[in-house]
């Protein structure tokens, strides 16, 4: 399951949304701080155990799907694989955050044959470091994937290293009833968008709900502005450290954002995305740029009232066809113990049967395989799938498209600094550039 979704689900069960500021991520990160080494041993140990059988009748899978719902779905998928191939899957489930925190050590130790991961820079990085295996031959047998998905599964060397499973798009969400009441129209250009925001202000609404207490939600805003102003390739190059942050292109992104900030909900640095989503749900805000998981803050009978549009076009030469849609999926470790079975398992994960099981059992995600039977989608899911299907390029979100150290130790403080003081763009971009140079050394 994608990161914010599991976070929200976890919280929804535990605490009222008002106290959602503390989440599993922060708790575990704290715990991992002291237990990182222990966790490493644990992970490596488990991998060793589950893979030690080495018979041709089994294969091991390292899974980060630790929440009950996705975990149950994964069991159903692996059962399906067993039924079709006769190979037993030993699922080694590790807590979602622990898995992510320990991924370096896990992959360098004795990882499971197949493991869950995300598309993006990190996937390509593991491929380049030889920590994951080339699975281009599996891709030869897969069907039902758009070029965008294939591109997102491809490493720097042009080979495929990743099989997509599920995903969710980022878009601007709103309540139909509120928009009908005020007679708003979906904006298709930045000017219309700004005018709509101004109108909402006059109508007593907060135009754009906004929260960045946890540091990552505002990355979505930066991403979409960058994609609209400079396009997908620039986004990828910028994230890979190949473009200068001090360039006019980046400054224009911050400039545009600074122009939009007055339309955003103020004091965002103390607010969680759940609280911001609730302001949309309570009809206090007009719209909210977030992932599909925003729906989790809406009750079941309100789901039909939720709608979205993709962020409007800024530069006609660039268009509005690219978007953030983080993809979760599977990779194969280097030197798997049961390589043949691992490839079979990946083929099954990428196939229609697995997608159908996912779709039937978990309504909170979209499945990547277009061959799946999408009759069970809600209206919102259908629209989201169409949006992503029509996208020319799919970005993975800032913190998945770049080095994790750069995203968390440089970009989060930098974006928060920008929100605090949107005026000093020159100082901000040169600070980012200096730190980037020290991190992207090779």
Contact residues: other proteins, CB under 8 A = 15, 18-19, 21-22, 26-27, 29-30, 32-33, 36, 100-101, 103-105, 108, 122, 129, 131, 213-215, 267-271, 275, 279, 404-405, 408-409, 412-414, 416-417, 420, 431, 434-435, 438-439, 441
Looking at the Cβ atoms of 144 and 413, the one nearer to other proteins is 413
In the block, residue with structure tokens 């890979």: 240
For residue 30, the minimal CB distance to other proteins (Å) is 5
Determine the 3-state secondary structure of 88 from DSSP. Answer: strand
Looking at the Cβ atoms of 275 and 393, the one nearer to other proteins is 275
CA dihedral 188, 193, 199, 202 (to 10 degrees): 160
- The string of DSSP codes covering 2-52 is -HHHHHHHHHHHHS-GGGTTS-HHHHHHHHHHHHHHHHHHHHHHHHHHHHT
In contact, 94 and 62? CB cutoff 8 Å: yes
If phi > 0 it is left, if psi is from -120 to 50 it is alpha, else beta; for residue 86 that is left
For residue 323, the minimal CB distance to other proteins (Å) is 24
C-alpha dist (Å) from residue 64 to 91, 117, 312: 10, 8, 35
Residue 306: both structure tokens together: 């939720």
Looking at the Cβ atoms of 171 and 327, the one nearer to other proteins is 327
Phi, psi of 324 (to 5 degrees): -85, 125
How far apart are the C-alpha atoms of 389 and 154, rounded to whole Å? 18
Residue 396: both structure tokens together: 């993975």
For residue 438, the minimal CB distance to other proteins (Å) is 5
Looking at the Cβ atoms of 134 and 424, the one nearer to other proteins is 424
How far apart are the C-alpha atoms of 184 and 149, rounded to whole Å? 34
Determine the 3-state secondary structure of 20 from DSSP. Answer: coil
In contact, 8 and 274? CB cutoff 8 Å: yes
C-alpha dist (Å) from residue 8 to 159, 171, 213, 244, 296: 35, 18, 15, 35, 7
For residue 212, the minimal CB distance to other proteins (Å) is 8
For residue 75, the minimal CB distance to other proteins (Å) is 26
Looking at the Cβ atoms of 151 and 424, the one nearer to other proteins is 424
Looking at the Cβ atoms of 381 and 402, the one nearer to other proteins is 402
For residue 193, the minimal CB distance to other proteins (Å) is 24
For residue 107, the minimal CB distance to other proteins (Å) is 9
Looking at the Cβ atoms of 361 and 417, the one nearer to other proteins is 417
For residue 260, the minimal CB distance to other proteins (Å) is 19
For residue 4, the minimal CB distance to other proteins (Å) is 16
C-alpha dist (Å) from residue 340 to 46, 91, 114, 306: 21, 17, 11, 45
Phi, psi of 380 (to 5 degrees): -65, -45
The distance from CA 83 to its chain's CA centroid, rounded to whole angstroms, is 31
Looking at the Cβ atoms of 88 and 430, the one nearer to other proteins is 430
Terminal C-alpha separation, the chain = 32
Looking at the Cβ atoms of 22 and 198, the one nearer to other proteins is 22
């Amino acid at each position: 399951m994608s990161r914010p979704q599991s976070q929200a689900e976890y919280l929804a069960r535990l605490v009222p949304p008002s106290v959602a500021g503390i989440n599993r991520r922060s708790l575990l990160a704290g715990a991992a701080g002291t237990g990182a080494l222990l966790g490493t041993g644990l992970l490596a140990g488990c991998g060793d155990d589950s893979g030690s059988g080495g018979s041709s009748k089994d294969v091991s899978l390292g899974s980060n799907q630790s929440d009950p719902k996705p975990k149950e779905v994964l069991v159903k998928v692996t059962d399906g694989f067993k039924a079709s191939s006769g190979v037993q899957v030993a699922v080694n489930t590790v807590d979602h955050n622990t898995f992510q925190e320990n991924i370096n050590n896990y992959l360098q130790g004795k990882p499971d044959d197949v493991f869950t991961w995300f598309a993006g820079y990190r996937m390509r990085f593991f491929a380049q470091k030889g920590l994951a295996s080339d699975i281009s031959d599996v891709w030869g047998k897969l069907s039902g994937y758009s070029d965008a998905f294939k591109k997102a599964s491809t490493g720097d060397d042009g080979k495929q290293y990743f099989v997509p499973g599920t995903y969710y798009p980022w878009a601007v969400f709103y309540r139909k009833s509120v928009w009908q009441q005020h007679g708003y129209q979906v904006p298709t250009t930045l000017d219309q968008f700004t005018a709509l925001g101004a109108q909402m202000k006059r109508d007593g609404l907060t135009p754009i709900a906004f929260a960045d207490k946890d540091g990552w939600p505002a990355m979505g805003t930066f991403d979409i502005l960058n994609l609209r102003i400079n396009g997908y390739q620039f986004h990828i190059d910028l994230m890979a450290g190949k473009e200068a942050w001090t360039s006019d292109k980046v400054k224009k992104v911050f400039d545009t954002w600074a122009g939009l900030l007055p339309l955003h909900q103020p004091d965002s640095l103390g607010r969680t995305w759940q609280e911001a989503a609730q302001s949309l749900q309570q009809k206090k805000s007009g719209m909210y740029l977030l992932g599909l998981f925003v729906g989790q803050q809406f009750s079941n009978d309100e789901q039909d009232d939720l709608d979205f549009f993709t962020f409007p076009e800024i530069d006609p030469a660039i268009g509005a066809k690219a978007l953030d849609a983080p993809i979760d999926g599977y990779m194969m470790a280097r030197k798997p113990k049961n390589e043949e079975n691992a490839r079979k398992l990946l083929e099954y994960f990428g196939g229609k049967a697995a997608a159908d099981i996912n779709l039937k059992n978990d309504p909170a995600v979209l499945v990547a395989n277009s061959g799946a039977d999408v009759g069970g989608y809600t209206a919102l899911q259908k629209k989201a799938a169409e949006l992503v299907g029509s996208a020319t390029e799919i970005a993975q979100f800032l913190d998945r498209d770049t080095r994790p150290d750069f995203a968390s130790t440089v970009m989060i403080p930098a974006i928060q600094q920008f929100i605090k003081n949107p005026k000093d763009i020159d100082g901000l971009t040169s600070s980012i550039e200096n730190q980037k140079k020290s991190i992207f050394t090779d």
